[in-house]
Amino acid sequence: MPELRDDLGHLVRVPDRVRRVVSIVPSLTEAVAVTAPGLLVGATDWCTHPPDLDVVRVRGTKNPDLARIVALRPDLVLANFEENREPDLEALRAAGLAVWVTAPHTLPQAISSLERMLTACGCAARPAWLEAAERAWRPQHVGERRRAFVPIWRRPWMALGRDTFAGDVLARLGVDHVYADAAERYPKVTLADARARRPDLVVLPDEPYVFTPETDLRWFAGWGVPVAFVSGRHLTWYGPSLAEARKVLTRQLAAAFPAPA
């Protein structure tokens, strides 16, 4: 039984052949389902990709049904250091399950993390979508840089702060966010303070909080800056969506800025 280390340095004892995997992270669910169909036996209620995924559901990322996960007898449980709660992961380990935790903060780290995770799952060949993602995110000239306010929650307002994967993705598209110097990764903020930081743009993803034009444009009506509504899956997930994320996000960000007459 090989012993591998996950992103946090935990020693994970993985069977010689992994046959059953439970994922409690939507992006990791998609990565495994696309790469090795049939390997997944359980996933959260929030694991929406692929759309036709037919596995046992184990509730959410923050409140997984631990008894149901244990009953599925997985060879490996896939988790993430900020999506999932450490007490839940410790409980799964105490039940004798191997738990693999991912923790990428940058896009290159995400590519490496995914490759190592898939290897732990027994996927010997590097999948085509991972190759495509790496090609898509090769450094490119992005032109004029903009500063954005990027909330990720409302009631209370929370925003991208320091050292986040989504912040790194935006930076590679020429968008720096105004709370990059925050002490926390997802600080609680006020709209007054965010506006005082003089952003050039507001970026509103549709997850983890579902910001929509119908309900949320009103908060920024007097700011005098464009508002871009973007795909949260393409901004925050690391998995097969990375292969198209650059094009999708670039188009959505550009839509906030009217073309010159």
The verdict on residue 138 lying in a domain is: no
Domain assignment present for residue 139? The answer is no
What pLDDT, on a 0 to 100 scale, did the predictor assign at position 107?
A: 97
In angstroms, the Cα distances linking 103 to 59, 76, 114, 155 are 22, 17, 10, 26
pLDDT in tens, 190-245: 999 999 999 999 999 999 999 999 999 999 999 999 999 999 999 999 999 999 99
Q: pLDDT-based confidence at 34, cuts 50/70/90?
A: very high
Q: Are 44 and 29 in contact (CB under 8 A)?
A: yes
At 192 the pLDDT is: 98
Do 87 and 154 reside in the same domain of the chain?
no
**How does the average pLDDT of the chain come out, rounded?**
95
Mark which of 126, 158, 188 sits at the end of a domain.
Answer: 126
119 and 7 housed in the same domain: yes
Confirm whether 140 is domain-assigned.
Answer: no
Tell me the pLDDT tens digit for each residue of 106-133. 999 999 999 999 999 999 889 999 999 9
Tell which residue, 99, 135, 131, has the closest CA to residue 117: 99
Q: Do 63 and 96 fall into the same domain? A: yes
pLDDT interval class at 261 (50, 70, 90):
very low
| Axis-axis angle for helices 128-136, 242-254 (nearest 10) | 40
Q: What range does the domain containing 159 cover? A: 146-254
Statement: residue 7 has pLDDT above 60: yes
The answer to whether residues 88 and 179 belong to one domain is no
- DSSP state string for 28-66: HHHHHHHHSTT-EEEE-TT---STT---EE-B-SSSB-H
Pairing outcome for strands 201-205 and 227-230: parallel
Give a yes or no: residue 260 inside a domain.
no
Of 43, 54, 110, 115, residue with least CA distance to 79: 43
pLDDT at 8 over 80: yes
- Domain limit, last residue, from 126, 159, 176: 126
* Predicted TM-score (pTM) of this structure: 0.93
Give the three-class secondary structure for 96.
coil
Do both 110 and 42 map to the same domain? yes
- If asked whether residues 12 and 98 sit together in one domain, one would say yes
DSSP 70: H
- The confidence band for 1, taking pLDDT boundaries of 50, 70 and 90, is low
DSSP SS3 for 198: coil
- The answer to whether the CB of 147 falls within 8 A of the CB of 116 is no
| Torsion angles phi and psi, residue 31, rounded to 5 | -60, -45
Question: Could you say which of 126, 160, 191 is where a domain stops?
Answer: 126
**120 and 164 both lie in a single domain:** no
Please indicate, yes or no, whether residues 81 and 163 belong to a single structural domain of this protein: no
Query: Which of 249, 214, 2, 260 has the alpha carbon at shortest distance from 122?
Result: 2
Report the domain count for the chain. Answer: 2
Please check whether residue 68 lies inside any domain of the structure.
yes
Which residue in 216, 221, 208, 253 sits closest to 62, CA to CA?
208
In the numeric block, the tokens 């990791």 are attached to: 28
CATH number at residue 228: 3.40.50.1980
